[in-house]
Structure 1
Amino acid sequence: MPISEGHSALPNEPTTSEVGEFIVNMYTKENFKEYSNGGIQLDPIGHLFQSPDSIIEGAAGKKSDEIASLAKPLASAGESKKEHSTIIVQMTTNDSNPPSTPKSPLSRRGTGLSRIRITLFHKDSGVSVQESWRKRNSTVRLKNSKNFVSFHNIYYTIPQGYFWQRKPPKVILNNVSGIMRSGVNAIMGPSGSGKSTLLDILADRKDRRWVTGHVLINGEKQPHNFKCACGYVVQDDILTGTLTVKENVYLSALLRLPPEMDKDEKLEKVDEVIEELGISHVADTLIGTAFTRGISGGQRKRTSIARELVVSPGVLFLDEPTTGLDSTTAESVIQILHNLSKKGRVIIMSIHQPRYSIFRLCDHLMLLSRGVVVYTGVGRAALPYFANTLGVECDEFENPADFFLDNLNETENASDRETGDTGHPLGNKWYDSEDYQILTDKLKRLLNKAIDQPDGIAPKYATNPLTQTYYLFGRGMKKLLRDPTAGVAVWLQNIVLGVFAGIIFYQLGDGENALLDRSGAIFFCMLCNLFTVATSLGLFVNERALFIHENSSGFYRVSSYFFSKFFGDLIPLRLLPVPFFSAIAYWMIGLQAEVEKFFLFMLGIFAQNMAAAGLVYSISAAVGTFPVAQIIYIVLLVFAMIFGGFFVSLNTVPSWVTWLQWFSYFKYTYAILLENELENTEFTYCGRYNGTVCLFTTVEEGNDYLENLNFRQYNIYWNFLGLGLLALALFILTYIFLLRIKKTT
């Protein structure tokens, strides 16, 4: 792909203190593996030659000991390599005191080495190569990694409307192809151009049913579970607010680094990444919640990046990393990414409209408009491409990013007014350009090599399910202890409601209304516990984005997350408060003063809360918003209460809806608690039921009447079994909904 002269507003060359020249020979690859023996290679994104497989080999040096040592041959010239032309290379340094022992260009650019200026001359004729390559000189970085991501003819089409509606599918991406290599790769375009969609496809985070085309990683087929092997930073920082910066990063290390590393090594890696990103001064500060002030937006973004970098991914994806940040903070974040890319990482980010100081840090640029590629190549070459091919030039002091978006939006609007076409005229010009033909040839060679390869499989999870559950349970406990709204409020609610129930029904007697009063007290106790269980409606709703991101990134399995919530929410918040509520309400109300009956009462409340929690969890996992989840729970709660046997006799309910009683946890719990209270009582059953005054002289008569009302249709143990099966079915349904979330994201 040709390199064109950079924009006039680009920074000038650095002040140099040393200049050296040496002659190098350029060879065309013939049966010579790229990167073999560590030869110096031109940036594959911005190569100067039509053959992207060309390599440079040093021959001699002058005027600088450092430059001379850098120019020594690093790969022996085999007989299979053909001498093609001569290159005069001028190296400049901006360090007046270069190191006495220069670093090899194979590892990292040596201290003091700033630029390499290359002038090409044809060996025989002496004619400048500028005529054929349109470039007299350029800036090239030495690379030490061959990591790259190539994508070939990507289409992303989604269906529209419901099954009874005949609507054409919507094309989000239309024949998108390109190569992203080591460095900072930016995907730019107007809103709705498909930037985030392309990023998700490259990171293997879109449903493959709607994706056609190929994605290659280092020239090989994208492995299954690639999303677990790469790093991905979402646009809205998804962190656990009740944990510190270091705890968030450390949890990522514990779950994603191999078990062969001990905790000290993982902690050392965490400290190294935190230091590298410049957030060590806030390492012990909470991220922050709605009730607790935490770190700033820029520090949150760096923490999100640190969670991914702790596993040293070769490819790092970022979706709008500058969103919500001021210009200075945004530039510092991109500068950090730019520095990280020098280590051979492929940094791919979508970005909307960066300032110039951010734009100049992008090594590679892809412009999208309505899902069509308008340009892809070296970032500095985009402006000359627009000037030479499209005939539009950027003003000297105008931000290139603003210039690109203005032209894209203007062309889109003009196309809509004139033809109503959903395509983009600039995309057609790109497909007709010489640069696109060169890129297409390279992509075809890569795809032909990989087409017969077997599908690769990346490691899915670094730790076993038990370890994942343990660490997630620990995170849940920290959140419970540090967030007063999650733990203290629930316990306080149980105690307050227990006292309130005890005051209202304090010491019930054995008089005329004994049956009505005791059945009402039992029903009220059941209802109070259902109010406390309802606080779990936001459990999966509030953590939906966190679960999607962490599960997609290979933090943990769905089963580990489910069981961590089962033990971390159900036990401490739904079951453990029950003894306190029961002890207060049972003895204040004055139910049968027998220890055995008290524990059976408490066990009945336990079982009800299990079934109710299963219903709440399944609703929370199935619905993405809290108001909708709340409405669904209220409706189902009303149905459960109606078919519980307290408000209406189940014998009078229409036969075509009586089957709903078997899904009412009220029915089972009410039968257990009422029979437990009325069994073997010494007082005569008296009470008013459904407008009728009931007076029984013997216990047997009362029991027979209650049995006819479906209060005692089965014994206690069968009702416990019914509650258990209902709870189990609801927990299984919750797990299925979590799997569905994973599958559709």
Structure 2
Amino acid sequence: MTIPAVDLEFTDLSYTAGRRRIIKGISGSFKSGHLTAIMGPSGAGKSTLMNILAGYRTAGVSGVINVNGEPRRLAVFNKSKVYIMQEDLLQPYLTVREAMQLSSRLKLGPEHTEQYKEGVVDEILETLGLTKCQHTFTDNLSGGQRKRVSVALELVDNPPILFLDEPTTGLDVVSINNSVQLLRLLANQGRTVVCTIHQPSASLFSVFDRVYMIAKGKCIYQGVPSQLVPFISNATGLECPQTYNAADYVFEILQSNVIELLCDSIQNGKIIRNGEAAVRTLEYRKNQYEDSSKITKTVDILPMAAFSMNYPNSFWRQFTLLFARMMLQKRRHVLGIWLQIIHHVLSGFLVGIIFQKVGNDASRPFDNFKFCLCVSVFFMYTHCMIPVLTYPFEIKVMKREYFNRWYSLKSFYLAKTLSTLPFIVPLGVVFIVIVYVMSDQPLELRRFAWFATYCLLIALTSEGLGVLIGFTFNCTNGTVVGPSSMAPILMLAMHGMGYGEAIHPAMLQLLKASYLRFGIVGIITALYLDRTMECSDKEEPICFYKDARLIVRDLAMEGEETAPQLIGIIFYLILLRLLAFFSLRYRCTTEFNNTILVYLTKIIKRR
């Protein structure tokens, strides 16, 4: 089957953010088989219009948007379109073919065989000229190659509508021409291809079938490129010099009065300027797209009405594929693995040397408490800061895949959560064994097991805090929020050292606000309860802390037991993970972000 024709039309479309009206009652249409460029000066509303038409922004939007003459249903429309962002964000540590294979397995359901999916990958790579670099890692691709790979990843299920935000930004002249010719090919195959572009060259400008120009939120031209100069001349009386690029010229004359004249002449997008020769050219291109199509020979496309609102694969299939990809990427990140190994081993020996032989010395009980605190802080800072620094970038890549319906957020989040365990647990155990032995803690399996359990729980809970921060803030803000969040957690965890029974009951309740407190109490009680210690200084007449229960008392932990602390720290572990998921969910929901910005704007203006 061929690609279904999808025509997108909009009438009296407006968008208001707070009190500012960004899009002002524009109209227009984008046809199948056409390559359409949305153009305009900076701040004109190009990206806003693109986001509205792609369905990523609906709050504050008024007007009518139709698909094939019927009101747009976002649930169906989202399945039929892809949005390729301005940044060519690709998954690292994967080859081009591996990235394509994963895309085909996620975007094509189980009704297709693996052989069929491989055939789709081969044909797309050949069509887009990526066969020679199919075994190259994505990090080593040139700018033009990355742009083509970004497009190729979204073509495996052959979407009928493509939106591209500034696809030529950052490319050289050759790469720009190749990218636009690629879009020309995709449009010839029957797709509706819409892209934003700033100021194209004269030769590039003529490649587009339609141009939609916008300035100050109003449509100032819609039609074929060849009719732009005559339209300006008729509407304003201004003549474009023969040596000028029409795209440059129109931006030079955009004064307020000229914008109004152009907007009135085109009726804010309700009129389409097509010359007779241009109409014949467009019809010819539309009739020729089946002959130039290679991808459609392999991929079957359903009619628009038959598009499923569900993901092509089940939750567990998505999780399996994502988990396998994440593990492969982690294994290939050799430098990162070695850095973590060196960090854990060197830190273990450093802590072991500082607190050597304090574990069974009744004359140094508070030194041993500092040891427990130091180990807890190591696991907290190590595993909290890693996601704070790395997850903001991963979210950008994930949002591209999620918005184009590769997988659900639940499957991604579960895979992301479990993919860290094979590294946190073994490396954590290595560190724990080193410090436990060097500090001369009691060599009892039960005590060691509790010690290791609470250390690893602190690591996993701290990672949950880091994931929450990494999902919520960018890298710059996260580096501020991370340490600022951990500081009060640490202060509450260590409060009470030497206070004994003098600590206020209300303060005891406040200490439970720190998950690290539960971990430290669990570690202390595991090491000290039901135990007799020895004094290293034999000349001391009285070994006061020989009875380890006194140490627990003076640390304001009297009456606490080891096992019940599990409930508290597991509660925070689950809570932070849930909050991180909801943060991810709202981060990927543009409506939530827009609503928050609107409310903040109103509050600021009222003040």
TM-score after normalising by structure 1: 0.70
Q: In the superposition, relative to structure 1, how do residues 327 and 707 fare at CA in structure 2: closer, same or farther (>3 Å)?
A: same
Q: Report how many aligned residue pairs link the two structures.
A: 555
Report what 1:429 is aligned to: 265
Q: CA deviation at 1:490?
A: 2.0
3-state SS of paired residue (1:643):
helix
Q: CA deviation at 1:359?
A: 0.8
Q: In the superposition, relative to structure 1, how do residues 390 and 146 fare at CA in structure 2: closer, same or farther (>3 Å)?
A: farther
User: Does 1:513 find its partner at 2:372?
Assistant: no
Q: CA deviation at 1:367?
A: 0.8
Report what 1:141 is aligned to: none
3-state SS of paired residue (1:714):
coil
Residues of 2 paired with 1:504 and 1:223: CA distance?
65
Q: In the superposition, relative to structure 1, how do residues 655 and 678 fare at CA in structure 2: closer, same or farther (>3 Å)?
A: closer
Report what 1:536 is aligned to: 387
Alignment check: 8 A CA contact 2:219 2:269 kept: no
Residues of 2 paired with 1:630 and 1:657: CA distance?
29
Correspondence for 2:132 among 281, 288, 309: 281
Alignment check: 8 A CA contact 1:355 1:401 kept: yes
Report what 2:341 is aligned to: 491
Residues of 2 paired with 1:683 and 1:488: CA distance?
39
Q: In the superposition, relative to structure 1, how do residues 532 and 434 fare at CA in structure 2: closer, same or farther (>3 Å)?
A: closer
Q: CA deviation at 1:651?
A: 6.2
User: Does 1:155 find its partner at 2:155?
Assistant: no
Q: In the superposition, relative to structure 1, how do residues 706 and 406 fare at CA in structure 2: closer, same or farther (>3 Å)?
A: same
Residues of 1 paired with 2:587 and 2:309: CA distance?
21
Alignment check: 8 A CA contact 1:195 1:350 kept: yes
Alignment check: 8 A CA contact 1:532 1:574 kept: no
Describe the superposition over 1:252-271 as per-residue Cα deviations: whole angstroms up to 9, x where unpaired.
Answer: 22111222112221121011
User: Does 1:627 find its partner at 2:469?
Assistant: no
Describe the superposition over 1:32-88 as per-residue Cα deviations: whole angstroms up to 9, x where unpaired.
Answer: xxxxxxxxxxxxxxxxxxxxxxxxxxxxxxxxxxxxxxxxxxxxxxxxxxxxxxxxx
3-state SS of paired residue (1:529):
helix
Residues of 1 paired with 2:66 and 2:336: CA distance?
45
Residues of 2 paired with 1:650 and 1:253: CA distance?
63
Which stretch has the larger CA shift, 503-512 or 555-564?
503-512
Report what 2:183 is aligned to: 337
Report what 2:40 is aligned to: 189
3-state SS of paired residue (2:441):
coil
More helix by share: 2
Describe the superposition over 1:543-574 as per-residue Cα deviations: whole angstroms up to 9, x where unpaired.
Answer: 121122221111111111110110112x0232
Report what 1:681 is aligned to: 531
Q: CA deviation at 1:339?
A: 1.7
Alignment check: 8 A CA contact 2:365 2:545 kept: no
Alignment check: 8 A CA contact 1:370 1:424 kept: no
Q: In the superposition, relative to structure 1, how do residues 651 and 242 fare at CA in structure 2: closer, same or farther (>3 Å)?
A: farther
Report what 2:544 is aligned to: 696
- Residue identity opposite 1:530 in structure 2: M
Report what 1:267 is aligned to: 118
Describe the superposition over 1:262-321 as per-residue Cα deviations: whole angstroms up to 9, x where unpaired.
Answer: 222112101111111111111110111xxxxx0100000000111112211111111111
Q: CA deviation at 1:710?
A: 2.5
Q: CA deviation at 1:432?
A: 8.4
Alignment check: 8 A CA contact 1:187 1:350 kept: yes
- Larger RCO, structure (CA 8 Å, separation 6 or more): 2
User: Does 1:310 find its partner at 2:156?
Assistant: yes
Report what 1:39 is aligned to: none
Report what 1:602 is aligned to: 452
User: Does 1:581 find its partner at 2:437?
Assistant: no
- Residue identity opposite 1:561 in structure 2: F
Alignment of 1:344-423 (within 5 A): 344-408=190-254, 411-412=255-256
Residues of 1 paired with 2:572 and 2:83: CA distance?
39
Describe the superposition over 1:451-476 as per-residue Cα deviations: whole angstroms up to 9, x where unpaired.
Answer: xxxx9985242111111111111221
- Residue identity opposite 2:141 in structure 1: I
Residues of 2 paired with 1:579 and 1:467: CA distance?
31
Q: CA deviation at 1:239?
A: 0.8
Residues of 1 paired with 2:501 and 2:408: CA distance?
47
Residues of 2 paired with 1:506 and 1:685: CA distance?
15
Alignment check: 8 A CA contact 2:528 2:552 kept: no
3-state SS of paired residue (1:644):
helix
Q: CA deviation at 1:434?
A: 9.2
Residues of 2 paired with 1:361 and 1:561: CA distance?
40
Residues of 2 paired with 1:501 and 1:345: CA distance?
62
- Residue identity opposite 1:696 in structure 2: F
Alignment check: 8 A CA contact 1:194 1:368 kept: yes
Describe the superposition over 1:223-243 as per-residue Cα deviations: whole angstroms up to 9, x where unpaired.
Answer: 223233212111111111221
Q: CA deviation at 1:653?
A: 6.1
- Residue identity opposite 2:23 in structure 1: L
Residues of 2 paired with 1:500 and 1:585: CA distance?
9
Residues of 1 paired with 2:151 and 2:136: CA distance?
17
- Residue identity opposite 1:194 in structure 2: G
Report what 2:20 is aligned to: 170
Residues of 2 paired with 1:365 and 1:605: CA distance?
61
Residues of 1 paired with 2:504 and 2:475: CA distance?
34
Residues of 2 paired with 1:432 and 1:565: CA distance?
47
Report what 1:522 is aligned to: 372
Report what 1:637 is aligned to: 486
Alignment check: 8 A CA contact 2:349 2:435 kept: yes
3-state SS of paired residue (1:487):
helix
Describe the superposition over 1:407-435 as per-residue Cα deviations: whole angstroms up to 9, x where unpaired.
Answer: 22xx14x78xxxxxxx7442133228994
User: Does 1:301 find its partner at 2:147?
Assistant: yes
Residues of 1 paired with 2:545 and 2:224: CA distance?
96
Q: In the superposition, relative to structure 1, how do residues 485 and 156 fare at CA in structure 2: closer, same or farther (>3 Å)?
A: farther
Q: CA deviation at 1:724?
A: 0.5
Alignment check: 8 A CA contact 2:359 2:442 kept: no
Alignment check: 8 A CA contact 1:147 1:346 kept: yes
User: Does 1:236 find its partner at 2:87?
Assistant: yes
3-state SS of paired residue (2:157):
coil
Residues of 2 paired with 1:642 and 1:152: CA distance?
59
- Residue identity opposite 2:426 in structure 1: L
Residues of 2 paired with 1:312 and 1:508: CA distance?
66
- Residue identity opposite 2:137 in structure 1: L
More strand by share: 1
TM-score after normalising by structure 2: 0.85
Structure with bigger gyration radius: 1
Alignment check: 8 A CA contact 2:26 2:269 kept: no
Alignment RMSD: 2.8
Residues of 2 paired with 1:716 and 1:231: CA distance?
53
Correspondence for 1:614 among 464, 483, 487: 464
Which stretch has the larger CA shift, 518-527 or 171-180?
518-527
- Residue identity opposite 1:429 in structure 2: S
Residues of 2 paired with 1:403 and 1:480: CA distance?
51
Which stretch has the larger CA shift, 347-356 or 666-675?
666-675
Describe the superposition over 1:370-414 as per-residue Cα deviations: whole angstroms up to 9, x where unpaired.
Answer: 110001122222222112232223222321211222222xx14x7
User: Does 1:220 find its partner at 2:70?
Assistant: yes
Q: CA deviation at 1:249?
A: 2.2
3-state SS of paired residue (1:717):
coil
Q: CA deviation at 1:172?
A: 1.3
Structure 1 unaligned residues grouped into runs of 5+: 1-105, 108-143, 160-168, 289-293, 416-422, 439-454, 688-692
